[in-house]
Amino acid sequence: MLVVSVAVMSPSGLVFVPAGIVLAVALAASEPSWSRVAVLLASAAIMYALGWILPVVWPNGLTATIGIACGYLIRFVAAFGVGAHLVATTSPTRLSAGLRAWRIPRAIAVTLAVMLRFFPVVASTSAAVLDAMRLRGLVGARGFVRHPVLSIERFTVPMIAASLRASEDLSASTILRGLGSRRTPVTLDPPRFGWPDAALALAVAALAAISMVLPSPLAEGIP
């Protein structure tokens, strides 16, 4: 995931985007999570349509601006797609065991594992805050257009307050159980680099190579 993020986000990263999206879709299909496959394909298609086709078909200032924005956002589609697979399939224990096996420094490994653990908390809190806003009539296109800053504030403040409260319990309990301490952890089930991992690594390398050799469909079009 880190490799993909760095690749697609780098200045000349657009060449890797099609490969990243192919990888993300393949990972989603392997779970299988068909809804994510659909979302990824649809958002990539929309980004492509708005970013590459629209400015050519109907060139003016507005479509050019949208085109540049979408040219940038399509990188996120690839990065988020691969990231979502990690969040959906990997438990924090397995992630930290894996990072430990790679001799990644503990500070980074613990931070990444905690982030991974925290995604579902943020997701469920956000869903609950949105529910509460809907019942108070605070969600709606009209309200958002009229008071965009206020709407965002009304969402973020309770979201952060509730997430922080949940995080306090979590960090108290994990620190007491030795997470991030100076002791050397011993993994119960050590991760093995098996043939599926090898196949995945080969596939990623192949996709990257193809991206560099073949002409990119996204290369022209960006003004």
Which residues in this chain contact another protein in the complex, by CB under 8 A? Answer: 91-93, 117, 120, 125, 128-129, 131-138, 154, 157-159, 161-162, 165-166, 169-170, 172-179, 181-188, 190
Token pair 């003016």: residue: 60
Count of positions (residues) in the chain: 223
CB of 177 to another protein, least distance (A): 4
Q: Which residue has the tokens 């206020």?
A: 150
Q: Assign residue 178 a region: left if phi > 0, alpha if psi is -120 to 50, beta otherwise?
A: left
Quote the least distance from Cβ 25 to another protein, whole Å. 19
Q: Which is nearer to another protein, 105 or 217 (CB)?
A: 105
Given the complex with another protein, which of 73 and 130 has the nearer CB atom?
A: 130
d(CA 124, CA 23): 27
CB distance 78 to 21 below 8 Å:
yes
At closest approach, how far in Å is the CB of 59 from another protein?
Answer: 40
List the structure tokens of 139.
């969600």
The tokens for 40 are 């990824």
Least distance CB 14 / another protein (angstroms): 35
CA atoms 114, 119, 120, 126: torsion sign: positive
CA–CA separation, 205 vs 39, rounded Å?
A: 25
Specify the residue, 72 or 118, whose C-beta has the smaller distance to another protein.
118
Cβ of residue 147: shortest distance to another protein, in angstroms?
12
CA distance 49 to 151: 29
Nearer to another protein, 5 or 125 (CB): 125
Smallest distance from another protein to CB 141, Å: 13
Q: Which is nearer to another protein, 49 or 144 (CB)?
A: 144
Rounded Cα distance between 164 and 141, Å, is 28
Nearer to another protein, 61 or 169 (CB): 169
Is the CB of residue 43 less than 8 Å from the CB of residue 197?
Answer: no
